[in-house]
Homo-oligomer: A and B are copies of this chain.
Amino acid sequence: MALGPESASAPGTERVVISVDAMGGDRGPAAVVAGLVDSIAQYPRLDVIVHGDEVVLRPLLDRQADLAARVTLRHADRVVTMQDKPAQVMRHGQGTSMWSTIDAVKDGEAGAAVSCGNTGALMAVAMLRLRKLPGVNRPAIACLWPSRNPGGFNLMLDVGADVKAEVEDLLQFAVMGASYARNGLKVARPRVGILNVGTEDHKGRAELKEAHDRMAAVAAVGDFDYVGFVEGGDLPSARVDVIVTDGFTGNVALKTGEGTAKLIADFLREAFGAGLMSKFAALLALNSLKRLQRRIDPRRVNGGVFLGLNGTVVKSHGSADATGVAAAIGLAYQLAQVRFLERLAARVASAEAAGQDAARMRVDRAEADRPDTVPGTGGNPTE
């Protein structure tokens, strides 16, 4: 690991506790428990608090002897379904496994939370219970994207926490995304780009141009390199690590990429399914196809991370199986053990302070430009 200045992590013997919602996923609690078994075997320092209906969960857990010492079951009567509206869950969600999962992070019992449930409801409950980080206006969901980079993944945010983003939000997404790339992807100095319809400076919407103009100043504080505008075709590119966009565009891009990969996989299967020779070839090509599958397997990139809250929350795909759940828990574990939240909060705070300095300087300069005011009195030093 080459994490640079942020490489200090929890001491090698300290336990790392993750809070896991066992309910609300498409495949039910059995898939979550199977994922737990994988994770517990993989990370010796991992302990888990698992939330859900004990009538269902207790027998599933009891069947796995390895879990007994390291998994604590916390009963929750109710479940948030995929159909529940976020606003309803915010008002009436107490007593659900999702709420309880988030509260374990809020109360300091766990270092991060994982849920396969309803994304909108999870964001709503996380916002309500954990609150936004000081200085953050709009939280974001960051997802991984298979890429040509040596690490195999790029990062994109926001992919759907909100349907829009102002200039300030895009700048903050850059800071938060770079911090995540450093701590979650081990990229020592992340390269950040803004998603646009062309790479030329004059292209795109007004807010993107303004974010573009102001990004260099933010990059200095956020300890990343700004590479300028990138296009949809650059999402898997090796010239960028973190792609910043609003939640509407990011969500469409994410689902378009997943949909395209699925279409090609289906076409590939049909192509190899037609004719005896093809089937024979497919058998011989099995290793090659498996190698390909490993590189674009959506289960390996499972886990959208909520950034900008007082707590780390990993949203697993609703349809995640054991491998997918284990990947999401592994991501939460990695972020918790490097104390990602403290680092993120520190980055956001210093970026905010720098932004205030810059704003103050702009005010000072603007005042200095006005001939009838005394230079230097525009800023408010008590801010």
Binds B, one of A10-18, A123-131, A255-263: A255-263
Chain A window 304-341, contacts with chain B (Cβ cutoff 8 Å), 1 for yes, 0 for no: 00000000000000000000000000000000000000
Q: Which A188-234 residues have C-beta < 8 A from chain B?
A: 195, 197, 202, 204-205, 231-234
Chain A window 235-269, contacts with chain B (Cβ cutoff 8 Å), 1 for yes, 0 for no: 11100000001011101111111111111101110
* A69 proximal to B (CB < 8 A): no
* A278 proximal to B (CB < 8 A): yes
- Could you list 8 A-B pairs, sorted by A, with CB under 8 Å? A231-B252, A235-B256, A256-B260, A263-B296, A270-B291, A271-B291, A272-B288, A275-B287
Residue of B nearest to A283 (CB): B281
A282: chain B residues within 8 A (beta carbon): 281, 285, 288
Residue of B nearest to A147 (CB): B263
Residue of B nearest to A278 (CB): B288
A256 and B253 contact, CB distance less than 8 A = yes
User: How far apart are the CA atoms of A122 and B204 in the complex, in Å?
Assistant: 18
B257 and A197 contact, CB distance less than 8 A = no
B262 and A274 contact, CB distance less than 8 A = no
A274: chain B residues within 8 A (beta carbon): 288, 291
**Shortest Cβ distance from residue A332 to the other chain B in the assembled complex, whole angstroms:** 24
A289 and B260 contact, CB distance less than 8 A = no
A186: chain B residues within 8 A (beta carbon): none
A264: chain B residues within 8 A (beta carbon): 260-261, 264, 292, 296
A233 and B248 contact, CB distance less than 8 A = no
User: How far apart are the CA atoms of A254 and B267 in the complex, in Å?
Assistant: 19
* A78 proximal to B (CB < 8 A): no
Residue of B nearest to A264 (CB): B264
B163 and A204 contact, CB distance less than 8 A = yes
**What 7 pairs between A and B have smallest CB-CB spacing?**
A232-B255, A281-B284, A233-B259, A232-B256, A281-B285, A271-B288, A260-B260
Interface centre among A195, A197, A251, A282 (most CB of B within 10 A): A197
A285: chain B residues within 8 A (beta carbon): 272, 278, 281-282, 284-285
**Shortest Cβ distance from residue A278 to the other chain B in the assembled complex, whole angstroms:** 4
A252: chain B residues within 8 A (beta carbon): 195, 197, 231-232, 245, 249, 252-253
**Shortest Cβ distance from residue A194 to the other chain B in the assembled complex, whole angstroms:** 12
Residue of B nearest to A231 (CB): B255
* A111 proximal to B (CB < 8 A): no
**Shortest Cβ distance from residue A330 to the other chain B in the assembled complex, whole angstroms:** 23
* A277 proximal to B (CB < 8 A): yes
Residue of B nearest to A282 (CB): B285
A sample of 12 more A-B contacts (CB under 8 A), given A232-B257, A282-B288, is A148-B263, A163-B205, A195-B252, A249-B252, A256-B256, A257-B257, A260-B264, A261-B264, A264-B296, A268-B292, A272-B285, A284-B284
**Shortest Cβ distance from residue A111 to the other chain B in the assembled complex, whole angstroms:** 30
* A295 proximal to B (CB < 8 A): yes
